[in-house]
C-alpha cells in the first residue's frame, strides 16, 4: 500500500515533468499537462498540495489558462495548497495568483532543495488544517473545546474520563488560561449528573460580603434589600455539579462553612434556621499553591483534604510541544471566518514567533493575540508584527551546545509526531532517520509514542 502523500504537478513541458518527478520522489507524484487533466486528477485523488505552471496553454476552445485554472482548483478544493512555478517575466502574474489564493510561488528553474522545503511546509500546514476540521466534527464530545496534541494534556483528558463517572471531589490546578473550567464542564458532562445543572462561581470575582449569599442563598429580610427568599448556587446545583473557581481566594470565614457543607451535605441560607440537604458533585480549581497558603495560615488544611480527593495538574501552554501552533491555527480559522477573511494565513516569521513565545497567559492570551492579528493584518498573511509579541530576549537561549542540541531534537521529534498524527514510520521518514533510531531518540527524551488529537482550552 502506498503511504506517500499525493502531490499534483501541473506542467506542460515533458522535460520538466520528468525532472520534478525524479527530484520529488518522496511523494506520490501525479501529473497533468492542461486544465482538463489537472481538474480530473484533483477530483480523483484530492491531493493536499499542487504545483502549477501559470503559463499553461489555453484549452482548444481558448477559454482558460493559468489563473483561471487556479481559480477552479481553489473552488473545487479550498484547502489545497497551490504553489505557483513562475518564469522571470511572470512576477506580476505570481503576485496575482497569491492574491487569488495560491499558497506560495517559486521561481523557475526550480531549486530542488528549496522547493522541497516549500512543499514540506505546505503539507504540514494542510495537515494542521485537516486536524482542525476533524476536531470541529467532534463537536458533540465533552472534551471538544480542548485543542491539544501534547501527551501531557492527553493524560489529563484520560484522567478526566476516568474520574468523571465517580462521585469524587476533583481539584484542578493550573495557571490562568489553561482551560480549568473547560475540564470542569467535561467532568460534569461525562458524569451520571450530565442531565442536571452545572453551576459555577468565581470566588475571586465576588466581594466577600456578598459571596456567602451567592453560595448559600438568603431568606427574605435577612439584610437590607433582601426582598424575597433566594436560593444560592449550591442549592441551585442540586443533583448536578457545582464548580468553585479560584478556591484559593475563598475567605477564611466561608472556608469553615464550605467545610461543614462538604462534611454534612447540608446548607443554611443567610438569615435562615433550617438545614437544607443538597446533593451536588463538587469540582474546584485554582492557580495558587494551596499548600503554601496552608503554611501561611490563609487556607484550612482540613478543607484542602476534603477538596483534593482527586487532584489534576494542568500543564501550561509552554510545556505542551506543538500546541501553540495548533491553537494559533484553531483561533485563526475561528476569527478569520467571523471577520470575513477566510484566505488569511500565517507567515513563516509569525509561526516562528508563536512557537518561541512562552505564553504566560496561556490559551486565553493566545486567543486574544490571534484575534488582534486577524484584525490588524494588512495583506493575505499574518506577519510577526501583527501578533504584538515582544521580541524574545537574546540571553534567553541556552549556550551549552549539548543542551541546545537536545532541545532541538526534542522539539523536532514532537513536531514531526504532531504532523504525522503519531505515525512512527511517517515521522521517521520526515526526520530522515530509521524507525529504530526514532524509538531510541524518543526514549532518550522521554517522549511517549502514543499521540492523538483531543478536543482543549
Do 325 and 311 share a structural domain? no
Do 209 and 262 share a structural domain? yes
In Å, how far are 77, 114, 418, 444 from 366, measured between CA atoms?
A: 29, 31, 19, 31
* Terminal-residue alpha carbon distance, the chain: 37
Expressed as residue numbers, the domain containing 378 is 318-392
| Domain count for the chain | 3
- For the record, the C-alpha cell of 316 comes out as 501550561
In a domain, 248, yes or no: yes
In a domain, 434, yes or no: no
In a domain, 36, yes or no: yes
- Quote the pLDDT of residue 395: 40
Which comes out higher in pLDDT, residue 405 or 56?
Answer: 405
Average pLDDT, the chain: 85
- Quote the pLDDT of residue 339: 87
Mean pLDDT along residues 342-366? 89
In a domain, 400, yes or no: no
Q: What is the DSSP string of 16-74?
A: HHHHHHHHTTTSEEEEESSHHHHHHHHHHH--SEEEEETTPPPPTTS---HHHHHHHHH
Do 94 and 41 share a structural domain? yes
Mean pLDDT lowest for which of 236-240, 312-316, 408-412? 408-412
CA-nearest of 29, 36, 88, 79 to 57 is: 36
> Given CA atoms 236, 239, 243, 249 in this order, what sign does their dihedral have?
positive
- Quote the pLDDT of residue 93: 76
pTM for this entry: 0.59
For residue 168, give the DSSP letter: -
What pLDDT band is residue 393 in, cutting at 50, 70 and 90? very low
- Among 137, 167, 198, the domain boundary falls at 137
Instruction: Indicate which CATH number applies to the domain containing 86.
Output: 3.40.50.2300
Percentage with pLDDT > 90 across the chain: 40
For residue 13, give the DSSP letter: -
Do 303 and 179 share a structural domain? yes
Do 358 and 243 share a structural domain? no
Do 329 and 307 share a structural domain? no
Instruction: Indicate which CATH number applies to the domain containing 226.
Output: 3.40.50.300
- Quote the pLDDT of residue 408: 82
Do 111 and 55 share a structural domain? yes
- Quote the pLDDT of residue 141: 56
Q: How far apart are CA 266 and CA 257, in angstroms?
A: 10
Rama region for 203: left / alpha / beta (φ>0; ψ in -120 to 50; rest): alpha
- Quote the pLDDT of residue 414: 80
Q: How far apart are CA 26 and CA 38, in angstroms?
A: 21
Do 183 and 74 share a structural domain? no
In a domain, 423, yes or no: no
Q: How far apart are CA 194 and CA 165, in angstroms?
A: 10
Instruction: Please write the tens of the pLDDT for every residue from 149-168.
Output: 888 998 999 999 999 999 99
Mean pLDDT lowest for which of 24-28, 229-233, 411-415? 411-415
**Cα dihedral 68→74→80→82 (10° resolution):** 30
- Quote the pLDDT of residue 135: 60
Do 162 and 115 share a structural domain? no
CA-nearest of 21, 8, 102 to 48 is: 8
In a domain, 436, yes or no: no
Mean pLDDT lowest for which of 95-104, 308-317, 399-408? 399-408
What pLDDT band is residue 61 in, cutting at 50, 70 and 90? very low
For residue 258, give the H/E element and its range.
helix 252-264
Which comes out higher in pLDDT, residue 18 or 400?
Answer: 18
Do 290 and 332 share a structural domain? no
- Quote the pLDDT of residue 391: 53
Mean pLDDT along residues 215-242? 91
In a domain, 307, yes or no: yes
In a domain, 249, yes or no: yes
Mean pLDDT along residues 83-108? 80
Do 173 and 78 share a structural domain? no
Mean pLDDT lowest for which of 85-99, 157-171, 360-374, 426-440? 85-99
- Among 91, 106, 137, the domain boundary falls at 137
- Among 288, 315, 342, the domain boundary falls at 315
Instruction: Indicate which CATH number applies to the domain containing 370.
Output: 1.10.8.60
Q: Look at residue 417 and tell me whether its pLDDT is greater than 90.
A: no
Do 232 and 158 share a structural domain? yes
Q: How far apart are CA 75 and CA 28, in angstroms?
A: 23
Q: Look at residue 24 and tell me whether its pLDDT is greater than 70.
A: yes
Amino acid at each position: 500500500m502506498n503511504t506517500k502523500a499525493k502531490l499534483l504537478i501541473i506542467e506542460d513541458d515533458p522535460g520538466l515533468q520528468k525532472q520534478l518527478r525524479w527530484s520529488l520522489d518522496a511523494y506520490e507524484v501525479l501529473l497533468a499537462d492542461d486544465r482538463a487533466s489537472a481538474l480530473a486528477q484533483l477530483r480523483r485523488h484530492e491531493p493536499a498540495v499542487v504545483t502549477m505552471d501559470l503559463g499553461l496553454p489555453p484549452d482548444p476552445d481558448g477559454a482558460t489558462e493559468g489563473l483561471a485554472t487556479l481559480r477552479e482548483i481553489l473552488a473545487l478544493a479550498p484547502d489545497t495548497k497551490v504553489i505557483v512555478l513562475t518564469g522571470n517575466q511572470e512576477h506580476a502574474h505570481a503576485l496575482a495568483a497569491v492574491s487569488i489564493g495560491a499558497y506560495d510561488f517559486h521561481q523557475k528553474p526550480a531549486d530542488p532543495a528549496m522547493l522541497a522545503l516549500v512543499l514540506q511546509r505546505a503539507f504540514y500546514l494542510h495537515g494542521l488544517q485537516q486536524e482542525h476540521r476533524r476536531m470541529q466534527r467532534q463537536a458533540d464530545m465533552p472534551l471538544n473545546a480542548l485543542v491539544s496534541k501534547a501527551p501531557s494534556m492527553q493524560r489529563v483528558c484520560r484522567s478526566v474520563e476516568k474520574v468523571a463517572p465517580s462521585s469524587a471531589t476533583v481539584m484542578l490546578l493550573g495557571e490562568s488560561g489553561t482551560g480549568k473550567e473547560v475540564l470542569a464542564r467535561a467532568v460534569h458532562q461525562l458524569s451520571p449528573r450530565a442531565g442536571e445543572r452545572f453551576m459555577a462561581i468565581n470566588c475571586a470575582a465576588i466581594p466577600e460580603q456578598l459571596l456567602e449569599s451567592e453560595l448559600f442563598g438568603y431568606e427574605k429580610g435577612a439584610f437590607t434589600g433582601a426582598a424575597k427568599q433566594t436560593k444560592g448556587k449550591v442549592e441551585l446545583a442540586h443533583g448536578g455539579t457545582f464548580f468553585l473557581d479560584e478556591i484559593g481566594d475563598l475567605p477564611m470565614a466561608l472556608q469553615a462553612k464550605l467545610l461543614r457543607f462538604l462534611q454534612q451535605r447540608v446548607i443554611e441560607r443567610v438569615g435562615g434556621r433550617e438545614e437544607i440537604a443538597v446533593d451536588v458533585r463538587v469540582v474546584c480549581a485554582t492557580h495558587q499553591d494551596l499548600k503554601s497558603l496552608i503554611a501561611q495560615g490563609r487556607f484550612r488544611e482540613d478543607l484542602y483534604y476534603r477538596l483534593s480527593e482527586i487532584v489534576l495538574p494542568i500543564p501550561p501552554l509552554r510545556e505542551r510541544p506543538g500546541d501553540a501552533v495548533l491553537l494559533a491555527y484553531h483561533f485563526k480559522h475561528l476569527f478569520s471566518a467571523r471577520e470575513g477573511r477566510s484566505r488569511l494565513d500565517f507567515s513563516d516569521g509569525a509561526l516562528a514567533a508563536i512557537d518561541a513565545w512562552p505564553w504566560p497567559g496561556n490559551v486565553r492570551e493566545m486567543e486574544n493575540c490571534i484575534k488582534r492579528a486577524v484584525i490588524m493584518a494588512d495583506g493575505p498573511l499574518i506577519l510577526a508584527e501583527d501578533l504584538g509579541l515582544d521580541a524574545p530576549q537574546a540571553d534567553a537561549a541556552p549556550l551549552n551546545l549539548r543542551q541546545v542540541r537536545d532541545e532541538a531534537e526534542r522539539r523536532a521529534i514532537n513536531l514531526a509526531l504532531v504532523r504525522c498524527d503519531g505515525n512512527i514510520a511517517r515521522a521517521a521518514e520526515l526526520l530522515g532517520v530509521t524507525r529504530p533510531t526514532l524509538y531510541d531518540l524518543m526514549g532518550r527524551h522521554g517522549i511517549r509514542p502514543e499521540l492523538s488529537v483531543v478536543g482543549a482550552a
